């Protein structure tokens, strides 16, 4: 899950908030009122002003409260990160003051709306309106410090890196100036500033790289020192928060040459102090191997430290074992994830109880019964063994169709059909009597006749001058009782509205332009 806080809009300050609310109230409500108006009209005029301004203030304040994250609803890593950077209690108090101001504005509006309903003059109503807007503006001005603080928090939240808490993650930690940022620049596509002095990195930096067709994210953390947790500053707490809440593999960097300014004993003590925070695999990386190698160091403290630990030597300056260290930590994290999924799967499989049927297979004679009785219940059903139950049944045998011989009396029935004694194939399938059949055909023909007439007459979308309606009286009589052979096709006698065609002129018929398309002539007034 990637948490990004760039969606939070800039927090308006108190004077800007007041200007926005009052200007919108002035633009969206009536602005002209006269003493001659009736008193109920004057009251409604100022009531609208008070209600609209209160809604504007509440909408702006509610937008500020809703956009900032609720610490209990986001990932613990981001919740602790906000608590480390901005003090969780101070952050909640600022949001609480903004939220409390909303209810105070609502209370002020209700009080002055009640008073406005009893106003008996234009002057009294106007003064009540000014008092209401003045009190609302005073309440907003008291939010000057909380709004400034929330704007600073918003700016800092927008600069936080977008870290995917569910992705494959590698965290780099260790003392300052031991080569953490140099290794990250070599491995990933990130570019972190590298300087010869300590505490160059003061925030979390995220980089990405590909390994085994998978995308990985690597996080460079600020350097930390070996002292109690309560003595650590804000920059060091960023590293502690990432180690405590992100499920990842850890690369702990150490400098055997002690050019970083810290002894080997201090670095080992730091590893022992942060071990309780780690909940995954740790790979010890000895940087600057071009200056001093592990084999050349005969310190007994180092020998005791390396027992049962995985380590690798690298040199970012000469690009030695950079890819080996990256591949090793990726394989460690992959194997750990696979083992966790396997344990989860095993725990789930143990909860599954496969159903084993208690019905025994009964062998019975092939002559008595083959197959399964379909009329028994599921628990009473029986399965029978048969050696040739999967054999293919032929359809043709000795040139004859087997389905023709399924009936035992087929030869007798066939002989009866040949002799004409059987009426097996002579059957009447007509359900209607001849009179009912004739009535059905008459009704069907009449329905078709009526549909054909309505097809020509019901053309409402065509202009009247373009129509050539059918006169039902001029339709040739269609004798439904006449035999089918003597019937001709149904013809309609159409009456032409074109006078030239009626007089026998051979000129083609030209449609008349509809009247609504003509431009009417202008009337001249004297």
Kindly report, residue by residue over 295-310, the tens digit of the pLDDT: 888 888 888 888 888 8
For residues 8, 13, 19, 20, the Cα torsion angle rounded to the nearest 10 degrees is 10
Hey, what CATH class is 14-158 in?
mainly alpha
Residue 16 backbone dihedrals phi, psi, to 5 degrees: -65, -40
CA 127 remoteness from chain centre:
51
pLDDT of residue 430: 56
The residues of the chain that CATH labels 1.20.120.1190 are 14-158
pLDDT of residue 414: 74
pLDDT of residue 378: 43
Residue 120 backbone dihedrals phi, psi, to 5 degrees: -110, 10
User: pLDDT under 70 in the chain at which residues?
Assistant: 1-2, 349-350, 352-394, 403-408, 420-431, 456, 458-526
Residue 180 CB: number of other CB atoms within 10 A?
A: 28
CATH code for the part of the protein at 169-347: 3.40.50.300
pLDDT of residue 100: 95
* Terminal Cα distance for the chain, rounded: 83
C-alpha to C-alpha distance for 472 and 454, rounded to whole angstroms: 10
3-state secondary structure of 188: coil
Decide if 218 contacts 185 (C-beta within 8 A). Answer: no
The residues of the chain that CATH labels 3.40.50.300 are 169-347
Decide if 197 contacts 177 (C-beta within 8 A). Answer: yes
CA 488 remoteness from chain centre:
67
pLDDT of residue 376: 44
Burial 124-146 (b: 16+ CB within 10 A, else e): bbbebbeebbebbbebbeebeeb
Half-sphere exposure of 88 (CA within 13 A, CB side): 12
In this structure, the chain runs to a length of: 526
pLDDT of residue 460: 54
pLDDT of residue 53: 95
């Amino acid at each position: 899950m990637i948490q990004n806080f760039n969606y939070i809009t800039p927090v308006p300050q108190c004077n800007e908030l007041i200007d926005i609310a009052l200007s919108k109230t002035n633009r969206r409500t009536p602005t002209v009122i006269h003493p001659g108006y009736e008193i109920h009209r004057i009251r409604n005029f100022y009531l609208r002003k008070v209600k609209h301004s209160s809604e504007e203030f509440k909408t702006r304040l509610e937008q500020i409260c809703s956009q900032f994250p609720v610490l209990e609803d986001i990932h613990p890593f981001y919740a602790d990160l906000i608590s480390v950077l901005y003090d969780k209690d101070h952050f909640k108090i600022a949001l609480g003051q903004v939220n409390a101001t909303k209810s105070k504005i609502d209370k002020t509006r209700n009080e002055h709306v009640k008073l406005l309903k009893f106003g008996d003059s234009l002057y009294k109503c106007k003064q009540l309106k000014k008092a209401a807007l003045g009190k609302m503006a005073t309440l907003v001005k008291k939010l000057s410090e909380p709004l400034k603080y929330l704007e600073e928090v918003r700016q800092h939240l927008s600069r936080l890196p977008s870290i995917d808490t569910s992705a494959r993650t590698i965290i780099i930690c260790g003392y300052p100036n031991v080569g953490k940022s140099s290794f990250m620049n070599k491995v990933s596509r990130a570019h972190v500033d590298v300087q010869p002095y300590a505490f160059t990195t003061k925030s979390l930096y995220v980089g990405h790289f590909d390994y085994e067709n998978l995308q990985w994210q690597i996080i460079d953390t600020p350097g930390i020192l070996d002292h109690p947790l309560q003595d650590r500053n804000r920059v060091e707490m960023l590293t502690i928060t990432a180690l405590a809440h992100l499920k990842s593999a850890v690369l702990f960097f150490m400098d055997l040459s002690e050019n970083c300014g810290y002894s080997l004993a201090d670095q080992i003590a730091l590893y022992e102090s942060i071990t309780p925070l780690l909940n995954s695999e740790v790979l010890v990386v000895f940087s600057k191997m071009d200056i001093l190698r592990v084999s050349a160091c005969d310190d007994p403290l180092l020998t005791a430290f390396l027992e049962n630990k995985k380590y690798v030597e690298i040199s970012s300056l000469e690009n030695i074992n950079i890819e080996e260290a990256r591949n090793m930590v990726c394989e460690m994290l992959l194997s750990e994830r696979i083992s966790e999924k396997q344990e989860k799967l095993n725990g789930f499989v143990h909860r599954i109880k496969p159903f084993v049927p208690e019905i025994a297979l009964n062998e019975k004679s092939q002559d008595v019964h083959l197959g399964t009785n379909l009329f028994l219940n599921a628990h009473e059903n029986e399965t029978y063994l048969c050696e040739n139950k999967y054999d293919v049944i032929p359809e043709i045998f000795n040139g004859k169709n087997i389905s023709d011989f399924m009936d035992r009396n087929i030869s007798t029935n066939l002989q009866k059909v040949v002799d004409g004694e059987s009426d097996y194939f002579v059957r009447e399938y007509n359900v209607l009597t001849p009179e009912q059949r004739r009535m059905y055909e008459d009704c069907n023909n009449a329905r078709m006749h009526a549909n054909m007439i309505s097809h020509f007459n019901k053309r409402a979308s065509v202009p009247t001058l373009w129509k050539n309606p059918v006169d039902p009286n001029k339709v040739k009589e269609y004798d439904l009782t006449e035999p089918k052979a003597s019937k001709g096709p149904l013809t309609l006698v159409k009456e032409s509205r074109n006078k030239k065609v009626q007089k026998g002129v051979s000129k083609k018929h030209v449609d008349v332009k509809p009247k609504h398309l003509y431009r009417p002539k202008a009337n001249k007034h004297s």
